[in-house]
């Protein structure tokens, strides 16, 4: 299984961390829009979530249903240990790079 | 929305169904607070995308493995009869489609080889009555250039529609060259035919220069370098060869042999005996082409040309000189309504019919596959069920069946390419083109190809596969399956439908073609030998020639002619009493024996009479021309020498049959001696020809004797119809064959599935006839139904085709009856044979097989 993390995947993992324990597709999409100033479609979020689940970075559990969902239950997502490790690693790598980077010479 | 949710609920995998639908609904709810319509739109879109979480796909197993290929090949091999039917039908269908696609690309590619062709336009001359002419007055081009300096214009003059002669400087051998055009010196900048020798800007810069096509240069000068040599045009004008141009590309509207410089118009007119003026706005004789600069659009120039007409054209013609611009690339296909000379055109309806034919052929082949694959699926149910029990998923079975379809499609595609390579030379001959196999196999067309192949695979695989899967899901081990026959009936009906339509189309096109070539033209065209005499001694010393020819035992009468009867006539201006303006009327010039030679009926007045001296200034008219003389033709005078009208002839087709009969005036003039028509008799063509040729040689040893029979020439005018009818006939025949192969296989399958039933019925006492009736009943009803639907549709389509011809056949019930009976007989007899064999079978044979 491919364990690397893409841009959108990283974003979604971070969003799940922020919103836990109330992280599900719609709340994630809303938060994404607030931060990125750009909307994302529901199926796109689903795709990323399912992929992260299959990589073992997220776990899911069924939640309550609401009237606007036609009584269908939400599925809440939360980070697994692997997921946290993976995103932490990305962050560490990035900090290292920033620390070593010089100021660019604009021409 | 409920409907969409229902679909999603059925398709989505149960594990994640609730989550996804719930999320979609919630998202909709949020968006709906801002804009309901937009939210709905997003919902539909997102639902569609969410279909990817379907039952078959959302699974962790491998859907496709290389095993699929092995299984598919095994299956195809085991059922090799069916495979052969599939591949032969489909490859034949694809090959026909590819050929038709080539034809389409060829027709669409006309004149697009010129550099920056989209900035080149032809000037079309429209009258206030909406009649469009492709020819313009002489000054149009030059005045456009002076008024709009940024536009360049060039003119093409076809030497007054007569075949001129060319000769080397020794004047020993004469060549009749019909496709010789006089052009302005900037011609090659606008129509950029490739020059093989000479520079574009230089070749025609001097007057009296000529550029030959490669073929003509070869014909006149052999392998010697033609540049710098001299040629006699019509024996009077000396032209210097300055260059060689490529042979005219098959996809050019202008089919040429040579271009000569229009630098010295006066001497060209002298050489051709033309007495008209090239300065006035009256005579429309040249094609004018313009090249627009990037910043000027055709609409802008067209708008400016309204003022242009007012500025330059004298008032009496101005209303007939509305100049429009036609894009160069449209000249070939969109010139149906434009009266032209020398433009190669094709009606767009023909292209559409070809495309329709292609679609029908391909559909028949695809439907064959679908029919057969779903019909034979019952035989596979055991195998598939076992596979399912052993753990295969629906998705895996599905992809295996798609793989089978894919293998069939790819093989057929390869076979069809071979077929195309083999058939291309014959096809080229039919459509009069030189298409090479690789000409249109470019990236764009290839990607279309691949897309089509994938699409075909998908439809071919999808229906049978999902149909079979449905049966598998019912766990029908060894049970008899209730077949879903509605879809199948529709498909069979389509095949019958296509077959009847194609046969009907064939019958109509064939009848129209034979109507065009065999119909009564109103004059005698058999056994008329036409001798071109212009520029020869015969045009000067006509009486002597006529007398000599008439002495021949084979010749019964002779007549001078200005034009080829039944093909063209020139428009000549006449002043008619009581009409305020000049009228352009079609005119042919003849001599005293014209009516007798062509055996035309005189319906009023009298024929020309050589004993009455004033008759040489008199005119005959045809019945259609009577409309010009409301006050009676007897008293009317025509302007030319105050000519009197002495007789009226019954209407005859002096123009080709693509055009209707128009008013015609027949006069006598010494200036228009172009052909001598000989009415010959006798059974041996070669004897006649040699006898007349020997007489010609005695009188005119220096000029070629180049005679031909009128009826052959006229039939050549309808070559395009002939080829078209051949194409449609061949294609229809092949597709009907494909359809019949499919139907036959289907019936065989159908009977096999009902063998047991037939056996039991026989044991219970049914006769062979009853069983035969039982099996064929459903197909017969379908056939009748198809005919009822087909009738108006086929009629409508073919009416549109027939409307291309002013004179055409009418629909008759018998044509339809032929089509119906022919299809019925073909299909009926084959199916009956199969059914009767089934009905005669011994029941013991079948039932014991348990």
Residue A29 near chain B (CB below 8 Å):
yes
Q: Which secondary structure element, helix H or strand E, spans residue B126, and what is its range?
A: strand B120-126
Ranges B354-358, B417-421, B422-426: which has the least confidence: B354-358
Cα gap B493→B365, rounded to integer Å: 14
Non-local CB neighbours of B70 within 8 Å, separated by 6+ positions: none
Mean pLDDT of A2-28: 87
* Number of Cβ within a 10 Å radius of residue B540: 12
Choose among B431, B499, B380, B559: nearest CA to B738: B499
Work out the percent of chain B whose per-residue pLDDT is above 70.
Answer: 93
How many CB atoms are located within 10 Å of the residue B368 CB? 27
Kindly report which listed range (B81-95, B249-263, B550-564, B734-748) carries the lowest average pLDDT score: B734-748
pLDDT mean over B361-375: 79
The residue whose two tokens read 């893409």 is A6
Coil, helix or strand for B687? helix
Tens digit of each residue's pLDDT (9 = 90 or more) over B189-238: 999 999 998 888 888 888 899 999 999 999 888 888 888 888 988 878 88
Cis peptide before B449 (omega within 30 of 0): no
**Is the pLDDT at B329 greater than 80, yes or no?**
yes
Helix (H, G, I), strand (E, B) or coil at B633: coil
Three-class SS of residue B128?
coil
Lowest mean pLDDT: which of B11-20, B51-60, B410-419?
Answer: B51-60
With bands split at pLDDT 50, 70 and 90, how would you rate the model's confidence at B87?
confident
> Residue B378: in which H helix or E strand, if any?
helix B377-389
Q: Which residues contact B286 (CB under 8 A, 6 or more apart)?
A: B135, B136, B137, B138, B140, B141, B155, B156, B157
Mean pLDDT of chain B: 82
Per the listing, tokens 């060259």 go with B177
B416-422: average pLDDT: 91
* Vertex B383: Cα angle to B379 and B385 (nearest 5): 105
With the C-alpha atoms ordered B251, B252, B255, B257, is the resulting torsion angle positive or negative? negative
Q: How far is B797 from chain A (nearest CA, A)?
A: 47
Choose from A53, A62, A72, A73 for mutation: most chain B CBs within 10 A. A72
Q: What is the pLDDT of residues B176-191, one digit of tens each?
A: 787 889 999 899 999 9
Per-residue pLDDT at B56: 55
Which of A45, A69, A73 is closest, CB to CB, to B25? A69
Residue B209 β-bridge partners: B240
Give the CA angle between residues B379, B381, B382 to the nearest 5°: 95
Instruction: Tell me the sheet residues that pair with A3.
Output: none
- Provide the shortest C-alpha distance from residue B20 to chain A (in Å): 8
Which among B1, B19, B47 is the top mutation candidate for probing chain A, defined by the most A β-carbons within 10 Å of its own β-carbon? B19
Contact at 8 Å (CB) between A32 and A15?
A: yes
Q: How far is B460 from chain A (nearest CA, A)?
A: 30
Neighbour count for residue B487 (Cβ, 10 Å): 14
**Chain A residues touching residue B16 (CB < 8 angstroms):** 50, 75
**Is the pLDDT at B669 greater than 70, yes or no?**
yes
Query: Under a CB-based contact definition with an 8 Å cutoff, are residues B526 and B660 in contact?
Result: no
For residues B432 and B384, is the Cβ–Cβ distance under 8 A? no
- Least Cα distance to B592 among B569, B605, B609, B606 occurs for B609
pLDDT given for residue B534 in this prediction? 72
**Is B330 within 8 Å of B701 (Cβ atoms)?**
no
Stretch B721-740: mean pLDDT, rounded? 79
Mean pLDDT is lowest, of A17-21, B432-436, B468-472, for: B468-472
Closest residue, chain A, to B2 (C-alpha): A70
Q: Nearest CA to B746 among B501, B488, B503?
A: B488
Within 8 A by CB and 6+ apart from B816, the residues are B504, B791, B794, B795
In B299-344, beta strands by DSSP E: 322-327, 338-339
Which run of H or of E encompasses B348? helix B348-375
**Nearest chain A residue to B50, by CA:** A43
Contact A70 B29 (CB under 8 A): no
Contacts of B390 by beta carbon, 8 Å cutoff, 6+ apart: none
| 3-state percent breakdown (helix, strand, coil) of chain B, nearest 5 | 55, 15, 30
> For the CA atoms of B736, B739, B743, B745, what is the dihedral angle to 10 degrees?
110
pLDDT at B538 over 80: no
**What kind of architecture, by CATH, is found in domain A7-99?**
Orthogonal Bundle (1.10)
Q: Say how many Å lie between the first and final Cα of chain B, rounded.
A: 51
Residue from the list A29, A45, A74 with its beta carbon closest to the beta carbon of B22: A74
Question: Do A42 and A26 contact (CB within 8 A), yes or no?
Answer: yes
What does residue B210 show for φ and ψ, rounded to 5 degrees? -145, 145
Using an 8 Å Cβ cutoff, are B561 and B568 in contact? no
Provide, as residue numbers in chain B, all residues whose Cβ is less than 8 Å from the Cβ of A74. 19, 22-23
Is B8 within 8 Å of chain A by CB? no
> In the predicted model, is pLDDT for residue B805 greater than 80?
no
Q: Does B35 lie at the interface with A, CB-CB under 8 angstroms?
A: no
In whole angstroms, give the CA distance from residue B709 to residue B528: 6
Cα pseudo-dihedral B383, B389, B395, B398, rounded to 10: 10
- Least confident residue range of B375-384, B489-498, B789-798: B375-384
Specify the pLDDT at position A1: 47
Q: Which of A72-86, B48-62, B396-410 has the weakest average pLDDT?
A: B48-62
Specify the DSSP class assigned to residue B655: B
CA–CA dist B502, B732 (Å, integer): 5
Burial of B471 (0-12, 13-18, 19+ CB in 10 A): buried
Q: Give the per-residue pLDDT at B210.
A: 92
Can you tell me the distance from the alpha carbon of B483 to that of B479, in angstroms, rounded to the nearest whole number?
12
Alpha helices, DSSP H, located in B443-529: 443-473, 485-518
- For residue B334, CA distances in Å to B185, B240, B345 come to 28, 37, 8
Phi, psi of B184 (to 5 degrees): -70, 165
Non-local CB neighbours of B308 within 8 Å, separated by 6+ positions: B143, B144, B147, B323
For residues B104-110, average pLDDT: 87
Band (pLDDT 50/70/90 cuts) for residue B790 is confident
* Contact assessment for residue B735 and residue B362, using Cβ atoms and an 8 Å cutoff: no
B43 in contact with A, Cβ within 8 Å: no
Of the candidate ranges B372-376, B511-515, B743-747, the one whose mean pLDDT is the lowest: B372-376
What does the alpha-carbon distance between residue B653 and residue B211 come to, in Å, rounded to a whole number? 37
Choose, out of B5, B23, B24, B60, the residue to mutate when testing the contact with A (most A CBs < 10 Å). B23
Contact B808, B519 (CB under 8 A): no
- B639 pLDDT band, cuts 50/70/90, is low
Map out the domains of chain A as residue ranges.
7-99
User: Of all residues in chain B, what percent carry a pLDDT higher than 90?
Assistant: 9
Weakest-pLDDT range from B12-16, B399-403, B444-448, B817-821: B444-448
Among residues B526, B533, B608, which one has the least CA distance to residue B566? Answer: B526
**Contact at CB, B30 and A72, closer than 8 angstroms:** no
Question: What are the tokens at B457?
Answer: 């695979």
DSSP conformation letters of chain A: ------HHHHHHHHHHHHHTTS--HHHHHHHHHHHHSS---HHHHHHHHHHHHHHTSEEEEEEEE-GGGTTPEEEEEEE-HHHHHHHHHHHHHHHHHHHHPPPP---
Asked if A104 reaches chain B (Cβ–Cβ under 8 Å), the answer is no
Q: Are strands B643-649 and B619-622 parallel, antiparallel or unpaired?
A: parallel
Residues 51-110 of B with CB under 8 A from A: 52-53
Reduced to 3 states, what is the DSSP secondary structure of residue B343? strand
Q: Are strands B583-590 and B664-668 parallel, antiparallel or unpaired?
A: parallel
What distance in Å separates the CA atoms of residue B363 and residue B372, rounded to the nearest whole number? 14
- Residue B317: pLDDT over 90: no
Within 10 A of B149 (CB to CB), how many other CB atoms are there?
9
Ramachandran bin of A56, using left for φ above 0, alpha for ψ from -120 to 50, beta for the remaining angles: left
Kindly identify which residue of chain A lies nearest to residue B28, measuring between CA atoms. A68
Query: How many angstroms separate the CA atoms of B264 and B148, rounded?
Result: 24
* Angstroms from A53 CA to nearest CA on chain B: 13
Q: Are B645 and B634 in contact (CB under 8 A)?
A: yes
Distance CA B419, CA B627 (A): 57
> Would you state the structure tokens that stand for residue A49, as one six-digit string?
């979530």
Structure tokens at B703: 């000029």
Nearest alpha carbon to residue B109 among B341, B330, B356: B330
pLDDT at B119: 92
Chain B residue with CA closest to A25: the answer is: B23
Give mean pLDDT, residues B620-625: 86
- Is the per-residue pLDDT at B480 higher than 60? no
Output the pLDDT for position B192: 92
On whether any CB of chain B is under 8 Å from the CB of A30, the answer is: yes
The interface pTM score, or ipTM, of the predicted complex is 0.86
Q: What is the CA radius of gyration of chain B?
A: 35
User: What are the phi and psi torsion angles at B124 (to 5°)?
Assistant: -110, 140
Q: How far apart are CA B376 and CA B483, in angstroms?
A: 12
Query: Would the CB atoms of A68 and B25 count as touching at under 8 Å?
Result: yes
Whether the predicted pLDDT of B381 surpasses 80: no
């Amino acid at each position: 299984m491919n364990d690397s993390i893409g841009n959108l995947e990283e974003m979604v993992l971070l969003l799940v961390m922020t919103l836990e324990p109330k992280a599900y597709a719609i709340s994630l999409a809303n938060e994404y829009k607030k931060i990125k100033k750009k909307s994302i479609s529901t199926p796109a979020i689903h795709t990323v979530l399912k992929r992260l689940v299959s990589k073992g970075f997220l776990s899911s559990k069924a939640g309550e249903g609401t009237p606007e969902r036609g009584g269908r239950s939400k599925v809440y997502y939360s980070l697994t240990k692997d997921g946290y490790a993976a995103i932490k690693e990305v962050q560490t790598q990035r900090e290292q790079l920033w620390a070593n980077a010089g100021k660019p010479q604009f021409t | 929305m409920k409907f969409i949710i229902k679909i999603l609920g059925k398709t989505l995998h149960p594990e994640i169904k609730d989550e996804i639908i719930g999320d979609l609904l919630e998202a909709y709810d949020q968006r709906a607070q801002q804009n309901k319509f937009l939210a709905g739109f997003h919902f539909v879109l997102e639902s569609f995308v969410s279909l990817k979480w379907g039952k078959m796909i959302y699974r962790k197993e491998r859907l496709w493995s290389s095993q699929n290929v092995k299984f598919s090949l095994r299956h195809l091999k085991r059922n090799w009869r069916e495979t052969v039917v599939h591949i032969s039908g489909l490859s034949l269908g694809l090959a026909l489609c590819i050929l038709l696609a080539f034809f389409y690309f060829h027709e669409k590619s006309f004149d697009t080889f010129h550099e920056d062709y989209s900035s080149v336009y032809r000037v079309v001359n429209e009258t206030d009555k909406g009649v469009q002419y492709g020819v313009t007055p002489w000054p149009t081009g030059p005045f456009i250039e002076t008024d709009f300096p940024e536009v360049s214009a060039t003119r093409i003059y076809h030497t007054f529609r007569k075949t001129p002669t060319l000769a080397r400087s020794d004047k020993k051998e004469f060549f009749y060259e019909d496709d010789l055009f006089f052009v302005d010196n900037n011609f090659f900048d606008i129509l950029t035919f490739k020059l093989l020798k000479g520079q574009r800007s230089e070749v025609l810069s001097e007057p009296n220069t000529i550029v030959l096509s490669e073929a003509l240069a070869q014909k006149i000068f052999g392998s010697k370098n033609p540049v710098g040599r001299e040629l006699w045009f019509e024996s009077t004008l000396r032209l210097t060869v300055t260059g060689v141009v490529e042979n005219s590309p098959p996809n050019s509207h202008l089919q040429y042999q040579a271009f000569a410089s229009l630098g010295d118009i006066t001497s060209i007119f002298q050489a051709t005996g033309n007495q008209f003026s090239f300065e006035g706005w009256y005579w429309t004789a040249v094609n004018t082409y313009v090249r627009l600069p990037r910043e000027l659009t055709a609409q802008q120039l067209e708008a400016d040309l309204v003022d242009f007409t007012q500025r330059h054209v004298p008032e009496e013609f101005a209303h007939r000189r509305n100049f429009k611009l036609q894009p160069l690339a449209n000249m070939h296909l969109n010139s149906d309504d434009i009266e032209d000379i020398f433009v190669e055109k094709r009606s767009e309806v023909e292209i559409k019919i070809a495309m329709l034919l292609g679609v029908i052929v391909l559909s028949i082949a695809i439907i064959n596959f679908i029919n057969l694959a779903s019909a034979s699926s019952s035989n596979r149910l055991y195998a598939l069920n076992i596979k399912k029990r052993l753990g295969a998923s629906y998705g895996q079975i599905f992809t295996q069946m798609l793989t089978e379809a894919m293998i069939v499609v790819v093989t057929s595609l390869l076979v069809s390419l071979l077929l195309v390579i083999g058939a291309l030379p014959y096809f080229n001959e039919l459509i009069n083109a030189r298409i090479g196999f690789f000409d249109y196999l470019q990236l764009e067309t290839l990607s279309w190809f691949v897309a089509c192949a994938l699409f075909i695979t998908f439809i071919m695989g999808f229906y049978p596969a999902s149909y079979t899967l449905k049966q598998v899901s019912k766990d029908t081990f060894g049970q008899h399956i209730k077949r879903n026959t509605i879809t199948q009936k529709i498909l069979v009906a389509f095949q019958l439908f296509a077959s009847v339509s194609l046969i009907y189309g064939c019958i109509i096109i064939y009848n129209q073609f034979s109507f065009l070539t065999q119909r009564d033209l109103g004059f005698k065209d058999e056994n008329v030998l036409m001798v071109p005499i212009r520029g020869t001694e015969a045009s000067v010393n006509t009486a002597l020639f006529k007398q000599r020819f008439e002495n021949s035992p084979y010749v019964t009468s002779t007549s001078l002619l200005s034009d080829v009867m039944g093909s063209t006539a020139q428009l000549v201006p006449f002043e008619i009493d009581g009409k305020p303006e000049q009228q352009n009327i079609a005119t042919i010039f003849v001599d005293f024996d014209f009516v007798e030679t062509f055996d035309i009926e005189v319906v009023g007045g009298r024929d020309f009479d050589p004993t009455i001296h004033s008759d040489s200034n008199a005119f005959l008219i045809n019945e259609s021309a009577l409309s010009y003389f409301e006050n009676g033709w007897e008293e009317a005078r025509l302007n030319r020498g105050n000519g009197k009208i002495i007789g009226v002839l019954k209407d005859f087709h002096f123009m080709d049959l693509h055009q209707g009969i128009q008013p015609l005036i027949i006069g006598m003039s010494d200036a228009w001696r172009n052909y001598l028509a000989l009415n010959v008799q006798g059974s041996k063509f070669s004897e006649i020809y040699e006898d007349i040729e020997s007489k010609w040689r005695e009188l005119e040893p220096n000029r070629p004797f180049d005679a031909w029979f009128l009826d052959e020439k006229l039939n050549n005018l309808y070559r395009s119809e002939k080829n078209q009818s051949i194409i449609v006939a061949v294609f229809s025949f092949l597709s009907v064959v494909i359809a019949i192969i499919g139907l036959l296989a289907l019936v065989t399958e159908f009977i096999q599935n009902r063998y047991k039933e037939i056996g039991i019925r026989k044991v219970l006492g049914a006769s062979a006839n009853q069983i035969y009736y039982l099996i064929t009943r459903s197909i017969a009803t379908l056939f009748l139904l198809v005919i009822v639907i087909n009738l108006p549709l086929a009629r409508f389509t073919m009416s549109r085709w027939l409307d291309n011809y002013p004179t055409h056949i009418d629909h008759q019930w018998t044509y339809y009856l032929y089509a119906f009976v022919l299809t019925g007989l073909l299909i009926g007899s084959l199916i009956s044979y199969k059914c009767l064999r089934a009905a005669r079978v011994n029941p013991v044979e079948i039932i014991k097989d348990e």
